[in-house]
Structure formats: C-alpha cells, structure tokens
Amino acid sequence: MSKLVIIIILTLSLTLHFYHIAKLTRGLAPIEVAHALLAHELRSLSFGNRQFSSSFDTPSFAYSAFASIMFSVFDYGIWQLRATSALAGTASAISLYFLAYKLLQLGSHRFSNNTPLHINSFLATIIFIFSPWSIHFSRFASAHNLGLAIYLLGTWLFSLLLSSKSGNPTRYRYLIIFAFSLSLFLAYSCVPYFAAASLLGCALILICFVYRKIIPYLVAIYLVAIFYLILSGKLAIYFSYYSLINLFFGLDIASVYRVSEVGLLLAPFLPFLLLGIYHIATLPTLRAYFFTSILVHPLLLLLFSPQHPNYANGLVLLPYLSLGIALGLTRFTKLLRSYRFAFRFSNFLPFMSGSLIFVFAGYAFMSFWHIYHQHYPLDAWPQWSTHWTKGALYIAQSYPQATQVVMEESPEVISYVQFFDLVFHNQVSRTLIGLESATALHASLPDGAVVGISGWRATPPNFQNTHHISLPDQQGTVIYKIGLWRQI
Amino acid sequence: MKKATLIAILIIATFLRTYNLNRVPPGFYSDEASWAYNAYSIFLTGRDEFGRLLPWSFEAFGDYKLGVTVYSILPAYAIFGISDWSARLPTAIYGVLTVYGIYLLCRELQKQHYSAVHQQQLPLLAAGILALTPGHIFMSRGIWDVQAALCYTVFGIVFFLKAIHRLSSQSISRASLSYLILSALSFVLSMYSYNSSRVLTPLILLFLFTNYFKFLFPTSSRKFLTRNLLSLALPVSLSLLLLLPQLFALTTPQVLQRARYVSIFQHGEVEAKLYAAIQKDPIGQPVLLTRLLHNKPIFYSAEFFQNYLSHYELDFLFLAGDTFEIFQVQGSGILLVLFLPFLVFGLYASLRYHYAYRNLAWFLLLISPIPSALTIFTPSVSRAQLLVIPLAIFTASGALFAIQLLSNHNNRFIVRAFLMVIFSSLIFNFSYWFKQYYIQNPPLVATKWNDGWRELSAILAQSLDQNTPILVSNAQAPSYIFLSWYWRIPPAALWQTRVTDFQPDSNGLNNTTQILNHIYFSKQIQSSCQKLQTPAVCVGFFGELANGQVITNSYSQPVFQLSKLH
C-alpha cells in the first residue's frame, strides 16, 4: 500500500513539475539567472574566488550548489536550472506524506483515536501536490521551494526522533540528529532565517507537546508580537497572510512569486479547511492544542518575517493548510456516513458528494492550469523578463564573436547574455559597457566586437542593423520590442 | 451591581453616540439631507418631497429609501426642533438601543432550556464591547437607515427568544404569543428600514424556526400541534399583511432601479473581467473550452465569494474599514485592534464548547455579508452592519474564556498583571481611536461629507434677491436637497416648482434640474454658466469655475466658487 502511494505521489508530482518546464513559464526571472551564474561559479571556479556578482538579486548558495550538480550531470540549460526546484517540490510532497502521518500518529496515539492516518496523510499530500503555489514554485529556480522541502524533511526527521523517545526506539537516532542539524543549516542557507525558524518552531512544538503543554506561552508570544506589529505599523501587511481571498482566490498582482488571480490553494477546498479547523477544535483538549499549534505556528513565525509581505515565505503555510483540509475532508466523510445511516440510503449520498467534490476540485485545477499556461505568461512577462530572455538568446546565438555588450536598458541583461553563452558556448566571456562610454569610445572599438541592446522606445546612435524582437500576445499583436545594433 | 454596570455602559454608549453630534461627522451627507428634508416635509404636511401622502418608501433621488428612518425623525423634530442634530439623534438612539438589545439577546440566550455552557458575564461584556465598537459608533452618528434595521432585527430576535422561554410545557401561552407578535412587528419594521433586511430577515426567521422547532412544537399530539399552529398563524399572517405593500412594490421597476445599479449582476465589472479573460485565450482554442472556463455563472460566483470573504478580512475588520471614504477612520476598522486576540479565542472556544449563544452567533456571522456580497463596493460596513452583533458576542466570550483560563493559573500576581496590561491597553487603544475619530478625522473627510453647504446656503440666502437666477453645480451630489434643507424650503413650494428628470443617470439616480423657478442645477457648470442671461450667479465646486469668490467649509477648506455675472 505504502509503495503504491509513494509511486502515485511521485508520478503526479514529477509530471506536474517537469511538464514543459523549460518553456513554461516563458522567460527567466532575474533570480533564476543569478542562481545559474552562481552555480556555474561553484562548478568551475575555486571556492571563494567569485567572478560574478549579482546587483539585482541574492542567489541562494544551497540552490546554486544543487543546480551546479544538475549542470554537471546534464550540462547547462533552462530545465537543468529549474530541475532542482521541481525535485524539491516532489521531495516536499513525499516528506509531507511521512510528516503528516507522523504528526497524526504523535497527536493521536497517546489518546483514543480512530483517525485513518494513511488516508489523511495521503489526502494532505494530494491537496499539496495539486495546490497552485506548490506547482508554480516547483517550476522555476527559486530557493523557497528547496527551503520548504528541507524544512519538511527536517521536521519529519525530528518527529521520527520523538517517536523513538516515546517508546519506539530508532536505531539511527544519532544519524537523524545529524540529518536534522544539517537540514537546519540548509534551510537557513536556502531562505535565510525563515525556513530555519519555522523548522525550529515546529520542533519546539513537538518537544513541548511530548513533554509539556505550551499553549499559554505560544499565546503570550503571539500577543507580544501583535503589540510589536501595532507599534511598528506592520500589522496590515501581516494580516494579508490570513486573507482567505489571498489564500483561495488570489489577487490581481503580476509577480514572479505569485500567479495573478490564483490562490495558494484551490478554491473548492475552502469549506473543508474551515471544517478541518472545526474538527481540530472539537478534538480532546491536548490533541486540539497540539494540532492547533502545528497549524498556526507558521503564522506565528511569519510575524517575525523580516520582509513584509512575503508571499514566498508564506509557502510554509501550505503543508499545514493541506493537512487541515485533509482533516476537514475526513470529517465530512464521517458526517456523510452518519447521514447515510440516518436516512437509510445506500452509498448514494457519499458517492454523490465525493463526485461533486472531485468535479469542483477538478474544474478548479483545470481553470488554474489554463490560466497558468495561457494567461499568466501574458500578464507577467515583465516580471519574467521575457523580452530580456529573448534578446539575450538572440545575442548569444547570432553574435558569438562580440566581446562587449552595450546596455541602454538595465545592466541586469548582461547576466542573461552570460547565461545563454553558457548554454550555447559553454563559457562566459562577454563584458558590459555603458551606453555613454560606448558612444565616447565608439571610434576606438573594434568592428564586430560590440553588440547593443535597448528598449524599443529609443534607438541609441552609432548602431545599425536593428533587429526587432517582438513578444506576441495570443492575438498576435506586438506588445514589446528589443533593438539590437552592431557598431558601424 | 449588574444594573449599575448596565446603566454605566448605556451612559457611555449614549455619550459616544451623541457627543458633538452636529459636528462629527462634519457636514451633512446627501442621503442625510434627503432623509432630514423628507422628515421635515412629512412633519409639516404629511407628504414627502414629491407630495405623496405618508409613503412607506421615499423616492428621494430615485433610490427609494425605506421609510422607518424618516418617521423616526419626526418625534425628534417635535421635541427638539428642526436641525441637523435632531435629525441625527434617532439614529444615535437606535445605536444605544442596540447596545441594550445585545444585552437582552445574550441574557435570553443564556436561558436556553437545554444544557449548554453558560458565561454569566456575557450579556454585560457583549453590551460593553458593542458600546465601544468603532463600526457601530460611527454608523450611529449619521442618519443611516441600517441602524434602525439592526436595532429592530436584534429586538425581533430578543422577543422571539422571550416568547420561546415563556412557552408552557405543551402549548403557546398568551405571554409568549404577545412576544411572538412583538417579534413579528420588529422584523417587519426592520424590513421597512433597510434593503439588506429584506434578504437577511427571512433567513433569520428560517433559522429561528428550525432551531427552536422542538420548543414551538414540543409534542406530536394532534391537539397541541393544531393549537400551536393556530397561535403561530396570528403573528405570521399579521407580518404578511403588513408586508403586502412591499411585496407588491417589488414588481415595480422603479423600486428595483437602485438595486440594479449596485448589484454585481448589472454593474458590468464582472462582464469586463470575463471579456478580458476570453481575450487572453489563444486563437484556435475550442469554443467549448472557452465557454467551459470563462462563463458568467463561474465569474459571478467567484465575484460573490470574494465579496463575501472580503468582510472577514482582518484588514477590513481591524485596520482599514469600509471602501467608502465617509465610513473610514484613519487606521481603524470596525473593531478595535485589541479585540483581535479575544475574537480569535471566542471563535475557537465556541467551536470547542457548546455555548448557549453558539448557533445563533455563528449563523449571524455567516449570513451578515450576504446582501453586501451581492453588491459592488465591498467590503461594506453599512450593508454588513449586522456583523457587529456576532463579532461583539464572540469577542466578549473570548475575553471571558481568556479570563477563565487565567484564573486557573496559580500565580495570582501574573493573572492580575496580565489583566492590568489588557485593561490599560484597551483604554489606550480606545483613546487613540477616540482622538482619531472625533478630532483628527473630521477635517480629513469634511469635503466628502459635504461640509460647506451650510455656509454656501447662508451666503446665497443673505446676498441675493429672490429672482436672480442661480446655477449650482450638480457634479458631486444632488445639490437641490442641500439648498432645500438648509433654506427649509416649504414642501409645497418644492412640489410646485421642481423640475426632475426621472430618467436614471449612470448612478441609477434621477436628476433634479430646477427648483423655486430661479435655481438651476447642472453637471457641466462651466458651459452652462456661459449660456445664462445676466445678471446671474454661478456656483461651482472648487476648481470647476475659472474664477469667483471662494467659499470655505467649517474647517476653512475651499469647497465652492461663487461667480456673479453682471
């Protein structure tokens, strides 16, 4: 049974994460390019001898390290760059399955319980796999997803350790302690502060639950933090994490870190999350406190998240919300069973309800998939720098001999050119030259050694053979152009 | 002790709702002026501004305001004279009565027959919290029909519960029947007070009937069943009889005119989103797929749910408040920020324990935003005003739950210190809000509240002879109502001289273009002024006219420009 479950999780997760990963989303986010260049640096240069510095984003060391392994095995490329994130998403799903099982076991075996653990944890994992954010974050080179995977893995390892404490000895206790410590370090490296803090917070809750009640202290911390937020004027931003609209419907915000009008989770699951919270509240006292603490602890930690509002940090909410929804679905099933007996129906009511939930969830997922693939690339192309990606791709392919690139626009574009040089020529040799310097030096610059890149509105002097790159929308109209010029 | 505390709460509630009532909020909003003038017209002649005899629904700007608020103002005019203050007073009184109503409501709920967990101090604390609830205070300080509706709804439930608690073992007693009739009358009045109540009251009645079914029909004995049904028939038929005018009027297109404008189904915003989504689909995509993914039922449902959920956003509840500027107080939502932890405790505790108030409070919490979710401009404090009742109950219950948890603590010093911190924070939090609302906010929203019309009316009345044509801008609000109110134009003169275009404008409102034979109103003041025969006077909002005498409001902010054409 367990093997079959793992196979299902792996198949679904890998399919959703790797399907057309290099083409969708179109373009590369600046952070992805930064990760690629740091990965190249780690792979080809000695440690500490940095060649590239990113002025526009801070690449994660851990993510780049994993990406450099992918580059070593599969060579440079977009899917190789994003594969770490896709695998991290899959690892998160697997970790969540085991973690949810362990949490349910920890929260129930000390008391009378008849919760179907396997079903609950499998449901939580499926909800997690099909959640829009999980899919989105697994399809681009962002360290947040890796942080989430490490965080879930670390929490699971810690829960294993606790299981061994409470009468089920584990032979690999010391190995687990080492792995847990490593996960803390890696989580910190991935997403500084937050993933590690969440991991530590969850570990503390687990410890406190096994040894002592902690609710009053959690509440006290919460109140103090609220006071801090009131005084610092950050309360409004923090409240956005609690927004049900944000979580289930999304906002009309174009960003690398969020798909416009798509929530963290599929909208039909909202009633089941509420039912899940109700289910937790009605459990016996200690179990209720335990699950409540587990469910809300990321929210508590988000209070201290230094960057507000940080939807990427809010990713940590996802596994626990999935668990809450799974509990709600279980409660709903129980409710249906009781009605079935009350009305002496056969299996009609549960079957109909199950089918309806499936249809609604399926429809919501189909709608998300459509928006993600058809609408999102059109809405968020500036954030995904689709124009820079296309321009840099063109330079790398058409002007391999040019050693200098003149920028009229943002200097970040040079990183894109360098990345595609890696992909096509396996080396980085070009340097950046500012437009003003290029104009002043233009007589002394060797012919054919300089290419230029500019926004479509202005054409700098001293360049010719303008090549326009258009970014067509679905209707075929031009919405952006990039001019490329060679020096005369 | 209980009585003294209740009286103290009511005194505080009265003070907060009546202090400086004619200055805070500043000015007089156009709807307020309309209610005040219609009440004035009824008070003098028994007819509304269009000359209709004692209507239950007032046409006003074409938005057909329900009548209870207008008729409630009449006693205040009779006792205190006709003024802005006396026009606002009844709403404030409704606010205070609602505070008392929530006390009664919680007390009645604690008298449930079945074994439920009781919190003895809940009625007083809930009343205290409602008395200090910003969203309830500022909706009690203008002439807003929602306050009357809220008050009658609360008392409708209270009377219903009183009737339930006075039922004899098997049949409906005379006392309970009287309360049932009172309850029915209260609900009918709420439906004659505010449009949202037409949606909410039937839902509340359905809930009360199903939740207390076993009390109304405790036995299956045919004799008692028939007797109880007959007893219930009286209040039900009385309600239906009183509601007949509304039922008939619902079929008339005029009454639905305003509803059409504010409804999400007619406003066009959803259709625009739908069209934009279809535009983004790739060419060549099967039409069936486009229709499956982008269709009206899905888009309207999504809009409804998002509007609905927006009323539970913490930002709306604690920090930002309404989307309309006139209902906003800087940095404040409809509840004090300090209520947040107690609200969370209250919600959580009510899920864990079977408190007596649980079913009703959760039901009210869930249904309150429904009417508002069907309209544009959400979240709305006014359309979802019923929300303050369950929120106050949950907050009070949460506070009691927290105190109970603390009282289990062994260290008395920590408990007292904690209570002291909470109490002083509450005082600080409320004082801050008080300062914001009563001192900081008025100058910021003065122009939105149409402050300045009083000054303009006085200037026009003093400096002009009766026959000089005056052209007044209609760009921001139906201006005729301000002049009618501040000049106290005799209703008969208005009936005879007004010229109104009943074709609804883009806001779904009619447009009065002339009163008193020489006062004209125009939305394009600049161009209309040029067409006037001299001598004449043009009055535009500040910035509308090229030059002219600037008229300021009570905060010395420029509001109008007055230009005399010779």
Q: Does B348 touch chain A (CB under 8 A)?
A: yes
Query: Do B340 and A226 lie within an 8 Å CB cutoff?
Result: yes
- Note whether B494 and B46 are within 8 A (CB): no
Q: Is the pLDDT of residue B498 over 70?
A: yes
Residue A81, token pair as written in the block? 């760059």
- pLDDT for res B182: 94
Arithmetic mean of pLDDT, A262-278? 91
**Nearest residue of chain A to residue B310 (CA atoms):** A245
- pLDDT for res A454: 63
Q: Does A367 touch chain B (CB under 8 A)?
A: yes
The alpha carbon of residue B151 is apart from the nearest alpha carbon of chain A, in Å, by 30
- pLDDT for res A416: 84
Higher pLDDT, residue A336 or A229 = A336
Q: Is the pLDDT of residue B425 over 60?
A: yes
Arithmetic mean of pLDDT, B536-565? 87
Residue B17 one-letter amino acid: R
- CB-CB neighbors (< 8 A) of B320 in chain A: 236
Mutation to test the B interface, candidates A230, A270, A274, A289, most B Cβ within 10 Å: A230
CA dihedral B278, B282, B286, B290 (to 10 degrees): -20
Cβ within 8 Å of residue A218, ≥6 positions away: A205, A293, A297, A300
**Nearest residue of chain B to residue A472 (CA atoms):** B282
- CB-CB neighbors (< 8 A) of B341 in chain A: 219, 222-223, 226
Q: For B312-323, what is each residue's pLDDT tens digit?
A: 998 899 988 888
Split at pLDDT 50, 70, 90, the class of B501 is confident
Nearest to A226 among B281, B341, B348 (CB): B341
- CB-CB neighbors (< 8 A) of B405 in chain A: 216
Q: Does B271 touch chain A (CB under 8 A)?
A: no
Nearest to A245 among B306, B337, B352 (CB): B306
- CB-CB neighbors (< 8 A) of A267 in chain B: 302, 305
Q: Cα-flanking dihedrals φ and ψ of residue B263, to 5°?
A: -75, 145
- CB-CB neighbors (< 8 A) of A223 in chain B: 341
Taking one residue from A and the other from B, the number of pairs with CB-CB distance under 8 angstroms is 72
- CB-CB neighbors (< 8 A) of A473 in chain B: 280
Split at pLDDT 50, 70, 90, the class of B388 is very high
Query: Do A230 and B280 lie within an 8 Å CB cutoff?
Result: no
Q: Is the pLDDT of residue A152 over 60?
A: yes
Q: For A174-221, what is each residue's pLDDT tens digit?
A: 777 777 788 877 777 777 777 777 787 777 777 776 665 566 666 666
Among candidate residues B356, B320, B354, the one with its CA nearest the CA of residue B337: B320
Q: Count the Cβ atoms, other than its own, within 10 Å of residue B206.
A: 11
Residue B489, token pair as written in the block? 């134009």
Q: Is the pLDDT of residue A485 over 80?
A: no
Q: Does B319 touch chain A (CB under 8 A)?
A: yes
A349: Cα within 13 Å, side-chain hemisphere = 15
Range of A416-430, A442-456, B28-42 with top mean pLDDT: B28-42
Query: Do B313 and A245 lie within an 8 Å CB cutoff?
Result: yes
Q: For B4-22, what is each residue's pLDDT tens digit?
A: 999 999 999 999 999 999 8
Arithmetic mean of pLDDT, A140-147? 88
Query: Do B352 and A277 lie within an 8 Å CB cutoff?
Result: no
Q: Does B352 touch chain A (CB under 8 A)?
A: yes
- pLDDT for res A340: 61
Among candidate residues A168, A129, A9, A140, the one with its CA nearest the CA of residue A79: A140
The alpha carbon of residue A238 is apart from the nearest alpha carbon of chain B, in Å, by 9
Q: Does A232 touch chain B (CB under 8 A)?
A: no
Arithmetic mean of pLDDT, B327-332? 83
Q: Is the pLDDT of residue A449 over 70?
A: no
Range of A51-65, A450-464, B28-42, B416-430 with top mean pLDDT: B28-42
The alpha carbon of residue A177 is apart from the nearest alpha carbon of chain B, in Å, by 36
Residues of B (355-414) whose Cβ lies below 8 Å from A = 405, 409
Query: Do A476 and B281 lie within an 8 Å CB cutoff?
Result: no
Range of A197-206, B94-103, B369-378 with top mean pLDDT: B94-103
Arithmetic mean of pLDDT, B331-358? 88
Q: B537 — alpha (psi -120 to 50), left (phi > 0) or beta?
A: beta
- Note whether B541 and B471 are within 8 A (CB): no
- CB-CB neighbors (< 8 A) of A243 in chain B: 313-315
DSSP state of B547: S
Mutation to test the A interface, candidates B117, B300, B314, most A Cβ within 10 Å: B314
Nearest to A374 among B280, B310, B425 (CB): B280
In this prediction the ipTM stands at 0.85
DSSP string, B427-482: HHHHHHHHHIIIIIHHHHHTTTTTTTHHHHHHHHHHH--TTS-EEEE-SSS-THHH
- CB-CB neighbors (< 8 A) of A236 in chain B: 315, 319-320
Arithmetic mean of pLDDT, B448-465? 85
Arithmetic mean of pLDDT, B36-53? 93
With H, G, I as helix, E, B as strand and everything else as coil, classify residue B194: coil
- CB-CB neighbors (< 8 A) of A262 in chain B: none
Split at pLDDT 50, 70, 90, the class of A479 is very low
Q: Which residues pair with B521 in a beta bridge?
A: B472
- pLDDT for res A473: 54
Mutation to test the A interface, candidates B269, B274, B306, B323, most A Cβ within 10 Å: B306
Q: Does A458 touch chain B (CB under 8 A)?
A: no
**Nearest residue of chain B to residue A292 (CA atoms):** B348
Q: Cα-flanking dihedrals φ and ψ of residue B209, to 5°?
A: -65, -45
Query: Do B312 and A244 lie within an 8 Å CB cutoff?
Result: yes
> Among A366-375, B435-444, B523-532, where is mean pLDDT lowest?
B523-532
Report which secondary-structure segment, H or E, holds B561: strand B558-565
Q: Does A242 touch chain B (CB under 8 A)?
A: yes
Arithmetic mean of pLDDT, A121-135? 93
- pLDDT for res A290: 79
Distance CA A207, CA A201 (A): 10
- pLDDT for res B299: 92
Q: Is the pLDDT of residue A154 over 80?
A: yes
Query: Do B341 and A223 lie within an 8 Å CB cutoff?
Result: yes
Query: Do B319 and A239 lie within an 8 Å CB cutoff?
Result: yes
Q: Is the pLDDT of residue B147 over 90?
A: yes
> Among A144-148, A168-172, A386-390, A448-452, where is mean pLDDT lowest?
A168-172
Arithmetic mean of pLDDT, B29-42? 94
Q: Does A230 touch chain B (CB under 8 A)?
A: yes
Residues of B (174-213) whose Cβ lies below 8 Å from A = none
- CB-CB neighbors (< 8 A) of A216 in chain B: 405, 409
DSSP string, B40-97: HHHHHHSB-TT--BS-SEE-TTTT-EESHHHHHHHHHHHHH-SSHHHHHHHHHHHHHH
Split at pLDDT 50, 70, 90, the class of A113 is very low
- Note whether B514 and B484 are within 8 A (CB): no
- CB-CB neighbors (< 8 A) of B340 in chain A: 226
Cβ within 8 Å of residue B412, ≥6 positions away: none
Q: For A279-336, what is each residue's pLDDT tens digit?
A: 888 888 777 877 887 887 777 777 666 555 567 777 888 998 999 999 999 888 888 7
The alpha carbon of residue A222 is apart from the nearest alpha carbon of chain B, in Å, by 9
Cβ within 8 Å of residue B60, ≥6 positions away: B31, B34, B38, B49
Q: For B212-235, what is each residue's pLDDT tens digit?
A: 887 777 766 676 777 777 778 888
pTM of the shown model: 0.89
Query: Do A378 and B280 lie within an 8 Å CB cutoff?
Result: yes
> Among A201-210, A358-367, B439-448, where is mean pLDDT lowest?
A201-210
% of chain A surpassing 90 pLDDT = 18
Nearest to B352 among A240, A249, A281 (CB): A281
- pLDDT for res A110: 46
Nearest to A235 among B302, B319, B405 (CB): B319
> Among A58-72, A220-234, A350-364, where is mean pLDDT lowest?
A220-234
Q: Is the pLDDT of residue B484 over 80?
A: yes
Residue B131 one-letter amino acid: A
**Nearest residue of chain B to residue A374 (CA atoms):** B281
Nearest to A235 among B279, B337, B425 (CB): B337
Q: Count the Cβ atoms, other than its own, within 10 Å of residue B150.
A: 31
Q: Cα-flanking dihedrals φ and ψ of residue A250, to 5°?
A: 80, 170
Nearest to A243 among B279, B282, B313 (CB): B313
